[in-house]
Amino acid sequence: MHKKIRTLVFHTGIIFGSPLLNTAFPMSLKSGHKHIKRRISLFVLMLISSTTLFAQIDKPQTTTQIEQGVPRQKQTPLNRTPAALGISEKVQQKIKAMTNPPVNIALFAVDRRTAEEAGNSDVIMIISIDKISGKVKMASIMRDTYVNIEAHGMDKINAAYALGGPQLAIKTINQNFDMDISDYMNVDFYSAARIVDALGGISVDLKPAELPVLNNYLDELAIYEKMPAVHVNAVGMQPLNGKQTVAYTRIRAVGRGDYERTERQRKVLVSIFSKMKSSGQQALPAFASQVLPNLETSMQNFTLLSFAGSIMNAQSKVIDQARFPLDKESLGKTIDKIWYLTTDLKTTTKSLHNFIYATAAPVKAK
């Protein structure tokens, strides 16, 4: 059984699906759908930047101009065959039978301090984007959920990334929850903190019980880095820098443990989204130079920049949020002296699909 790696600090991560989204949103969109592309691209950019103040410039630049000389993010190629991704024939047929299937994107944040480490994914989310309405949904998957990991047996779902990287992590989600995810984005702790700082930090509503725990995590990190910690000194709505934001999303010793922790993760993304919505095309160069190099993804720079550039001035949208398994459909259980969150996978899959596909109507028979 894979032993869980102890988390020192949580990392915010992002991910995005390029081939699927490129198919759904070709660069030469009809004018009637331009506003949809802008909405989706803005959200994608928010995710990519999961935590950065974009520099103001006087003269906007084209995507091609900006891409030249931009440091590349770490590219992790995926085997995109349905079998390698764990997308069953049943799921493929279900998607084909929908008039408007959403674009589903896997979002990870991995517990590691160096590129050589194989860490667990402390953040596991499915981001779903409606291709017509632009509606965005964010589904967190509890990291302790007891699932089958191919060739490794039953384990916590967050172990899949450490055992087989993004390929196995995506496959595990698809196989256990009948999903069709084919791309991802991810950042580790240091990358996440740098991205947040590049955005100029974010603001969160900090509760009294959270303050000492957050500062304790900052102290742990200070020992690890041999640098003094910068504490947060008050509660309520507080500005947080990169490291403080990452420490905030790690908090689990107060409230409802991991349940509330996933809520904090989603709050951070929403806060980023709110900040990003005020950015315009002038933010694109900083996005290229400060954000892209901190990403690990299966998406190319040009595609990221093209979508980002088309939506920087889009209006914000409400993001539907949910956490799975649902409380009523899960039970904590100790197995071989390890605590897991158990659930009937068929029941949870049905609930997850009701959340994601509620507006994706079946194709009408001719």
In the chain, where the domains are located: 18-200+270-356
Mind listing the pLDDT tens digit for each residue in 107-159? 898 876 655 666 889 899 998 877 776 677 889 999 999 999 999 999 999 99
Q: In 3-state terms, what secondary structure has residue 167?
A: helix
Q: In 3-state terms, what secondary structure has residue 360?
A: coil
Quote the CA–CA distance of 252 and 121 in Å, as a whole number.
16
Instruction: Name the pairing type of β-strands 146-149 and 136-141.
Output: unpaired
Phi-psi region of 247 (alpha: psi -120 to 50; beta: other; left: phi over 0): alpha
Q: What is the pTM of this model?
A: 0.75
Mind listing the pLDDT tens digit for each residue in 10-56? 333 333 333 333 333 333 334 445 555 555 455 555 554 443 322 22
Question: What per-residue string of b and e applies to 241-277 under the rule 16 or more CB within 10 Å gives b?
Answer: bbbbbbbbbbbbebbeebebbbebbbbbbbbbbebbb
With 80 as the cut, is the pLDDT of residue 5 above it? no
Identity (one letter) of the amino acid at 91?
V
CATH number of 18-200+270-356: 3.40.630.190
The tokens describing 356, both together, are: 């994601």
Quote the CA–CA distance of 61 and 304 in Å, as a whole number.
15
